[in-house]
Amino acid sequence: MFRRYAQEFSGGGEVTGGRSKAAKRKREKSIAKTTTGKSANYLPTKEGAGMTKAGVKAYRKANPGSKLQTAVTEDKPTGKRAKRRKSFCARSAGQMKKFPRAAKDPNSRLRQARRRWKC
Q: Which H, E and C letters describe 17-38, residue by residue?
A: CCCCHHHHHHHHCCCCCCCCCC
The phi-psi region of residue 86 (left if phi > 0; otherwise alpha if psi is between -120 and 50; otherwise beta) is alpha
Q: What is the pLDDT of residues 75-91, one digit of tens each?
A: 999 999 999 999 999 99
Per-residue pLDDT, averaged over 96-114, amounts to 92
Q: Where are the domains of the chain?
A: 27-70, 73-119
pLDDT (0 to 100) of residue 65? 92
